[in-house]
Chains A and B, each alone.
Chain A
Amino acid sequence: MADTNLINYTLHLADNALILGHRNSEWCGHGPILEQDIAVSNIALDCIGQARNFYQYAAQLTGNGATEDSLAYLRDVTEFKNCLLVELPNGDWGQTILRQFFFSTYQYFLYQQLQNSSDQQIAAIAEKALKEVTYHVRWSSEWVIRLGDGTEESRQRMLHAVDELWSFTGEMFIPAHYEPSPAETGTGIDLASVKNKWTEKITAVFEEATLPVPPADTWMQTGGKQGRHTEHLGFILAEMQFLQRSYPNAEW
């Protein structure tokens, strides 16, 4: 069996992508207009594709008959290592957009580093996903600007979304014990640098959207990376895992 930290880190990357993809897929058929319904469903597909690649790799590292399906469908809440941000309910369109913007921007700078990882498979997945994440950042930032600097109604909704989500952004930049440090691997990730670039991008887009950036010293929620989740993740898993739990080994 491979290094436990590497397995956990790969699962963390996979869980982030799967849960965000699942949340976005909830919009399928409910988007505000057809083109944006298609856009958010496309993004869900990209996220679930990333999740599959990471789960396949985690299954290979884990051995013992683990598969991408067993990792996605048969682990319980406390074993999931995704950030709290991605499991939060969709809220309104503004809140979904803002969560996507926060997380895609984080993924963009993170994957930029990961594509140089000393682990070849993680590097390959990141290199591939980065191209798609670029589109996600562009799309979500355009919506943040449109809505923030839009009508009184859309602006109020964006201000509300910032209030709801901001305290969940800090967790992305606090390394979990299994995250590779640059000192450890030489080519690992430097979360401090990801945070700086993220803050710069968020500030620039918020400025254009005429939205205030909340103070840096806001108290931040944590725990997701360690398996301590909000009550929302349980409901997601109940729905997502229902079939495999009720009819073990069911196949399409």
Chain B
Amino acid sequence: MNAIEKNTIPGAGFSEEIRERVLQVLETVPDPEVPVLSVIDLGVVRKVDVRENENKEWEVQLAVTPTYTGCPAIDVMKINMRMALLEAGFKNIGITETLSPAWTTDWMSESGKQKLKAYGIAAPHYKQLVCTPDSFQEEEAVQCPLCNSYHTRLVSQFGSTACKALYQCNDCKEPFDYFKCH
């Protein structure tokens, strides 16, 4: 589901081990707006290529995609990914941005969804149920992350960040964020 593309054909100058190491480092880089998720959990890392250059140094090429077009977090994520890789000893790092295919919450990892819930944010559904512009539609059965009730209501389609909607639980009355399907 959260497949990260690797263009490099394993062979001379390629190491699956090094690539795994890069992924481990990226696992430690949080989304600045939802810090309980790593950039890998969020699914914004679309490609990880590693290659050994002529100086016998590892080159890392990443492609990342923004969640929402105007999401200001993407620039911070790119800086933090670079910093983390530098700290881990990688010197040659290239990060490019891709727009297509457009990011979708389907790329969020399973562990990411669990972490979100524990953090008090309802995780996105597997499939976007209301993807048309028709008025007054609501996602069915958004679960309250606090009391697990499905008896909840939409307060606003727009929340504290571009990727979230505001909900309230009708049972425990807790207001909560829903990481909306995209």
Contacts and interface: CB of A to CB of B under 8 A. Distances in A.
A46 B162 contact: yes
A49 interface: yes
B10 to A, nearest CB: 28
Contacts of B54: none
B71 A49 contact: yes
B166 A35 contact: yes
A78 interface: no
Given A128-B99, A128-B100, A138 B157 contact: yes
Nearest to B181: A131
Interface in A35-54: 35-36, 38-39, 42-43, 45-50, 52-53
A132 B68 CA distance: 8
Contacts of A53: 69, 99
Given A49-B69, A128-B100, A145-B135, A139 B159 contact: no
A120 to B, nearest CB: 8
Contact of B70 (A47, A105, A108): A47
Nearest to A205: B135
Nearest to A139: B157
A127 to B, nearest CB: 5
B135 A141 contact: yes
Given A50-B69, A128-B102, A129-B69, A142 B159 contact: no
A138 B138 CA distance: 11
A46 B102 contact: no
A53 B137 CA distance: 29
Nearest to A36: B156
A135 B166 CA distance: 14
Nearest to A142: B135
A123 interface: yes
Contact of B157 (A39, A48, A145, A201): A39
Interface of B: 66, 68-72, 98-103, 131-137, 155-160, 162, 166, 182
17 contacts: A35-B156, A35-B158, A42-B159, A46-B70, A49-B70, A52-B69, A105-B133, A108-B133, A124-B100, A127-B101, A128-B66, A128-B100, A131-B102, A132-B162, A134-B131, A138-B134, A208-B135
Interface of A: 35-36, 38-39, 42-43, 45-50, 52-53, 105, 108, 120-121, 123-125, 127-129, 131-135, 137-139, 141-142, 145, 201, 205, 208
